Amino acid sequence: MKLLSHISFFKLAILLATVEFLLLTLFAVLYQLQLINQSSGIFIFILIGLFLICLTFVLLLLVRGTIVRNLRSMKNGANEISQGNLSYRFDETPIRDLTGVNSVLNEMVIQLEQATLEHSLCQSQLDGLLQSMNTGVVLLDRTKKIVLCNFSFLQLFEAPVSVKPQGRLIEDFVRHVELSECIENNESDVSPHHFDFVLFGNDKADKKLLITTRPLLAKNDVCLGHLLLFEDVTNVSKLEVMRSNFAANVSHELRTPITSIKGYVETLQECVSKDAAASDALAIIERNALRLENIIEDLLKLSQIEHVEDFPMFVSSEVQHIVDAVLQDVEVERSEVQVRIVAEVQDSLRINCSEQLVIQALLNLVQNAMRYGKPQGMVSIVAKQKGDRILLSVKDEGLGIPQHLHDRLFERFFRVDSGRSRNSGGTGLGLAIVKHVAQLHHGSVSVESSAECGSTFTMAFPVSHEC
């Protein structure tokens, strides 16, 4: 056996075969040279041959036994590892070839154990993250069956603890036609899709959910499934309603005193027409009362826009008619500031909209362009179709707006130049109204501007099906 620890099985087999061949060759040569007689030579030749064959057979049996034992040990070790016992290690063997194999297997098991520990740690971290989220998270496979979900999802839908969601269809929990169609038909667009969903409670108040879905793509852009997020926005919606109602109520309540102030100012102006100081003071009061009245009117418009049910259903409207209405509304102001307005409208453009709101939004943009553009300059109105969108653009020749302020332009009461805005009669709500009108029509608004190059505001609306 000591010999076997230094000589591999294949080398031993070659050595024995070589020794046997040399001995047989030697006796054949001696026999041919008649150095041994015929009878004794044949007998000795046969004995030596049998001895060598027996020796070879015994050595092969010893080697085979050693190999079989080690192979059984390797098989048992493989079974242990397959059952999850990664602490198992393969023993050393006296056969050098198998010793190398065992070393490689032990190294592989060590790496597998480390990878398993890292995977378990990552899985624990992921589970902890998912279970600590207030947002419901669901992972679906390509057949819309649930692969995993967190506790918040089950809690939102009041699923019993005994329910095992894995392997069940998402429709067993959420019945939403648009969501189902999006999952079935969208397997390549990685942009998220949002859906509103009202979850009616049996004994509890209804919940308003915001559902976000996006596909999960492999490196070759093959869809592996979908990720769904369920966010409870019930409280946020209530706060939005409260805020909007508060603004509307306050605006209504302020209308009466503002009207009274304006009336008394007009009366006093008639009484003190010869007193210059008093007339100037009354003019300031009147100007600020008018500005406050304009702010109240804009707040009411915003409140109405946020209550979609206050407006009739959208109808297909001609863009040319909308532009003509705006031009008619600003004609008096245009003459006063001596600004030239050029309108270029592509033929046969139509959008599904509340015409009243779109006219108001475009009117705000044109008035801003006249107030903040170059004196006696030009304002351009361009309406055209680009892809599946109708673009309404208003361009002025003003000083422009710095790039770092673009993101804040559509905030309420934000002004690029506060002093100039107040002097021009602006309320700080015009662009906020434009943004809300565009969003109400499933559109968007954007601005392109730089210092000394003027500004271009563009509203984008979906194309009307009748277009």
Q: What amino acid is encoded at 260 in this protein?
A: S
Threshold 0.75, pTM exceeds: no
454-467 mean pLDDT = 80
38-55 mean pLDDT = 63
Higher pLDDT, 445 or 110: 445
Residue 394 binned pLDDT confidence (cut-offs 50, 70, 90)? very high
What Å distances lie between residue 164 and 147, 149, 201, 206, CA to CA? 11, 10, 21, 24
pLDDT at 249 over 90: no
Question: Tell me: the pLDDT tens digits for 152-189?
Answer: 888 888 777 677 888 888 888 888 787 788 887 777 67
Residues 103, 218: Cα–Cα separation, whole Å = 36
Contact status, residue 262 vs residue 289, Cβ threshold 8 Å = yes
Residue 467 binned pLDDT confidence (cut-offs 50, 70, 90)? very low
- Residue count (the chain): 467
Query: Which of these, 199, 224, 229, lies nearest to 136 by C-alpha position?
Result: 229
Q: Where are the beta strands (DSSP E) in 86-145?
A: 136-140
Highest-scoring range by mean pLDDT, 208-212, 379-383, 430-434, 461-465: 379-383
Residues 429, 297: Cα–Cα separation, whole Å = 10
Question: Tell me: the pLDDT tens digits for 3-42?
Answer: 444 445 555 556 666 666 666 665 665 555 555 455 555 6
Residue 50's pLDDT is 67
Mean pLDDT of all residues belonging to the chain: 78
Residue 380's pLDDT is 92
Domains of the chain: 9-110 (no CATH), 133-232 (3.30.450.20), 235-310 (1.10.287.130), 312-467 (3.30.565.10)
Highest-scoring range by mean pLDDT, 132-141, 248-257, 402-411, 415-424: 132-141
Higher pLDDT, 432 or 9: 432
209: buried, middle or exposed (CB in 10 Å: 19+, 13-18, 0-12)?
buried
Check residue 221 and give left, alpha or beta (phi > 0: left; psi -120 to 50: alpha): left
Residue 1's pLDDT is 43
Residues 361, 381: Cα–Cα separation, whole Å = 13
